[in-house]
A = this chain, B = another copy of it.
Amino acid sequence: MTTYDLIVIGAGPGGYGAAIRAAQLGLKTAVVEKDQPGGVCLNWGCIPSKNLIHQAELFHSLHELEAVGVSVDRSTLDYSAVQANSRKVVKTLTGGVRGLLKKNKVALLKGTARLTDAGEVTLDNGDVLSAKHILVATGSRPMQVPGFECDEDKVLSSTGILALTRLPAELVVLGGGAIGCEFAYVMNAFGVKVTLVEALDHLLPTEDFEVCAVLEACFKRAGIEVLTNTRALSLDRSGEKLQVTLQSADEELVREADKALVVFGRVPNTGDLGLAELGVQLDERGYVNVGDYNQTTAAGIYAIGDITRTPALAHVASAEGEMAVEHMAGHAPRLTGVDAAKVPSAVYCEPQVAGFGLREDEAGERKLKKSVFSYSGAGKSIAVGKPDGLVKILCDAETDEILGAHIVGHNATEIIHELLLAASAELLPEDLCSTIHAHPTLSEAILEAARGINGAPIHA
């Protein structure tokens, strides 16, 4: 029986990052992974989708080149080559993670793990490992809803759509969250007729409504049929084409499509691990209850990422993993718990959407100062042909504390970090105003929005 200081179960962004951090802190560490290192994020999520989005953006921008005379034949596009590129990126990065684990002397063990006793993990090949600490980072999988099960042939999950090597003529996307919006964008850019269906009243229901209105307008202009306030009633797979029956506020609709992408949400991978048997408390939906440093209710066992109730985002898993191993190693963790109000969201379609903290519709009785600045007021947005967007900052009316910020527009997922740092470090809009922003940049829209909190922007 091999003995470690730490066994990490799951080599996703939470698990492998935690393993490396643990090794840096001197813990003898192993990470058990049933598939490739990098988890869903790297293999079948964030990373390949970002590559597809990149290629979709280029393909979409061909019209700009045609307008200056470049002669283009789109019909020769080989989508299987597009998809193959995304797999190449994945291969490079999984190789990178393997290299990092090796360099940090973390053992990468292939297999499925179960917790079989206090401080004991058993692999499906029968190997039994022991460790002082166990970190569970098994992530999540697509939610299956009766009648809408993903067969990965006609009815696809996010995994299935990343595996597609031929473009469908028509795609219905059920679920207007981040994944739904990203693939609606990609497929539309490649010429697929897309219908995007969201049960709630706007796309990206967890984002600020004003930001989402810009996204929705852009999607509609691009030719995506956006149906909000619309529920999926049923999916008929019997014919050559799928028949999707939908219920909007006032009518029943039917859409035909070659493929459907079903992205209703994700569920935690906490079954079959032996958690409950060892005293790890789970809630009624299968999420693990954890303390400030992601300790579970069982001594020596920590849980991070999508199996806890913090936002199911790779960067949250990474932060929790770092915090958990610092705690178990007796090294003062940088964070005490993940403050959900300081977690950035990031959606990578064009325009991008990013934000954190309070949304305007959540303010209730709280008195706010609000400032909104349009991207089109920042010259750079015009220069690069990306005028659609806005920066919105919400502050406490008395103290000016930055309670939330929301951006839609080109590069939103990068420029949000200036605002996020400001909020995390308890800086004020004044601090953003007295920082000289480079001209011409999109970040100037942040400066202008900050000016609007206690005064007026120059370019509005």
Query: Which A residues are closer than 8 A to B by beta carbons?
Result: 13, 17, 20-21, 24, 41-42, 46-48, 50-51, 54-55, 58-59, 61-62, 64-65, 67-74, 76-79, 81-82, 85, 89, 92-93, 96, 100, 313-316, 318-319, 322, 334-335, 338, 342-346, 354, 377, 379-380, 382-385, 411, 413-418, 420-422, 424-425, 427, 430-443, 446, 455-456, 458-459
Report the minimum CB–CB distance from A390 to chain B (whole Å).
16
Nearest first, the 4 A-B pairs at minimum CB distance are A69-B78, A71-B73, A50-B383, A346-B438
A456 to B21, CA, bound (A): 9
Q: Is the interface of A mostly helix, strand, loop or mixed?
A: helix
Copy number in the complex reads: 2
* Min CB gap A406→B, angstroms: 13
> Given the complex, which residues of B lie within 8 Å of A318, measured CB to CB?
439, 458
Question: What are 13 A-B contacts with C-beta separation under 8 Å?
Answer: A24-B456, A41-B439, A51-B384, A69-B76, A100-B458, A316-B436, A346-B439, A346-B441, A417-B438, A421-B427, A422-B425, A424-B435, A425-B425
Shortest distance between the CB of A186 and any CB in chain B (Å):
13
Q: Chain B nearest CB: distance from A63 CB in Å? A: 10
Q: Which residues of B contact A314 (CB under 8 A)?
A: 439-440
Q: What's the nearest-Cβ distance from chain B to residue A62, in Å?
A: 7
**In whole Å, how far is A425's beta carbon from the nearest beta carbon of chain B?**
5
CB-based contact B46/A439 at 8 Å: yes
Given contacts A77-B68, A421-B427, contact A383 B54 (CB under 8 A): yes
* Contact A438 B344, beta carbon cutoff 8 Å: yes
For residue A99, give the distance in angstroms from its CB to the closest CB of chain B.
10
Q: Which B residues are CB-close (under 8 A) to A414?
A: 411, 414-415, 441-443
Q: Which of A71, A318, A440 has the most CB of B within 10 A?
A: A440
Cα separation A300 to B194 with both chains bound (whole Å): 63
| B residues less than 8 Å from A354 (CB atoms) | 438
Among A61, A68, A79, which residue has the most Cβ atoms of chain B within 10 A? Answer: A68
Interface centre among A70, A81, A316, A377 (most CB of B within 10 A): A70
B418-A421 in contact (CB<8A) = yes
A424–B431 touching, CB < 8 Å: yes
**In the complex, A313 Cα to B420 Cα: how many Å?**
27
State whether A440 touches B343 (Cβ < 8 A). Answer: no
Q: Which residue of B lies closest to A344 (CB)?
A: B438
Residues of B within 8 A of A71 (CB): 72-73, 76
Q: Could you tell me the distance in whole angstroms from the C-beta of A407 to the nearest C-beta in chain B?
A: 11
A368 CB, nearest partner CB in chain B, Å:
22
Q: Given A54-B383, A315-B437, 7 more contacts at CB 8 Å?
A: A17-B458, A51-B383, A67-B81, A334-B434, A342-B436, A354-B438, A415-B415
A197 to chain B, nearest CB (A): 26
In the complex with contacts A421-B427, A422-B421, A425-B431, A68-B93 CB distance below 8 A = no
| Chain B, residue nearest A67 (CB) | B81
Q: Is B68 a contact of A382 with CB atoms below 8 Å?
A: no
Interchain CB contact under 8 A, B65 and A70: no
A437–B421 Cα distance when bound, in Å, is 9
> Which of A93, A100, A418, A458 has the most chain B CB within a 10 Å cutoff?
A458
A382 CB to closest chain B CB (Å) equals 6
Identity of the chain B residue whose Cβ is nearest the Cβ of A333 in the assembled complex:
B434
A239 CB, nearest partner CB in chain B, Å: 31
Cβ A437 vs Cβ B417 within 8 A: yes
